[in-house]
Amino acid sequence: MAIKDYILQAKDQARKLFVLLIDPDKVFSLEALRPYLSLPDLIFVGGSTASQCDTCVALLRQYTTRPIVLFPGSITQFTPKADALLFLSVLTSRLPQLLIEPHIQMATSILQSGIESIPMGYILIDGGRKSSVEIATNTQSVPQTDIPTIVQTAVAGQLLGKQLIYLEAGSGAKMPVSAEVIRAVRAKLQIPLIVGGGITSPETMIRAFEAGADIVVIGNHFEQYPDEIADFVRIKQEKYE
């Protein structure tokens, strides 16, 4: 089954998806994560400045059969070894080098590889600290109090043909995307909604799901506490499966 169809089917069945995000430049952390790599519904691979995607995906192939999806921060983060690619547009940016130029540079390679490509709108939300994405892309995050702008941006992404919308509070955020923001976006959005950044407990994960997130993505937290993956997955399964 294609990854997009898998996500859509889960949404239709109200089955929430838990995603482990791995920074490919931190391949040293894979050994600690290895016992838990079969637990997430999907594995995302990517980072703001990462460059070892090919190596990381190759190692993951040895450790797990879970679907691997590229979540690229730049054109260097592409490998045909993954199952799918999130072909993302930073909707909160007004810089052409983020809105279209990387897509043009990657387009032919992606097409020739045959990898599944999923158009995704990426919305950077203020998580209480300047994130690596803001630093790397010089993109201004949207304040969580500016709910109308966040909702309008998400709806614009949907109307532009994006098949997923990602609300991102940023890597290592002090606060996750609020339930109020998630509910407001969910009320206007028909396509699957992904939420990530600053989620460090099962409670905050469930709060995001209950507010309307179809997919929750967690990365940084598990670099420090890989054994907690099992608890997050168990709690998610008990509530939604």
Distance of CA 37 to the CA centre of its chain: 17
CATH of 3-240, one of 3.20.20.390, 3.40.50.720, 3.90.950.20, 3.40.50.880: 3.20.20.390
Q: Judge whether 50 and 23 are in contact, CB under 8 Å.
A: yes
> What confidence score (pLDDT) does residue 226 get?
95
What are the residue boundaries of the structural domains of the chain, listed by start?
3-240
User: According to the model, what pLDDT value does residue 131 have?
Assistant: 61
The SS3 assignment for 23 reads: coil
Per-residue pLDDT reduced to its tens digit, 71-128:
987 766 889 999 999 998 888 877 666 667 777 888 898 999 999 999 999 999 998 7
pLDDT computed for residue 164 by the predictor:
98
Instruction: Give me the count of residues in the chain.
Output: 241
Weakly modelled stretches of the chain, pLDDT under 70: 48-50, 75-76, 95-99, 129-138
pLDDT at 84: 97
Phi-psi region of 222 (alpha: psi -120 to 50; beta: other; left: phi over 0): alpha
pLDDT in the model for residue 205: 97
Q: What pLDDT is recorded for position 101?
A: 74
Q: What letter does residue 13 receive in the DSSP assignment? A: T
pLDDT score at 99: 64
Cα Rg, the chain, nearest whole Å: 16
At residue 97, the pLDDT reads: 63
Q: What is the dihedral of CA 179, 184, 185, 187, to 10 degrees?
A: 120
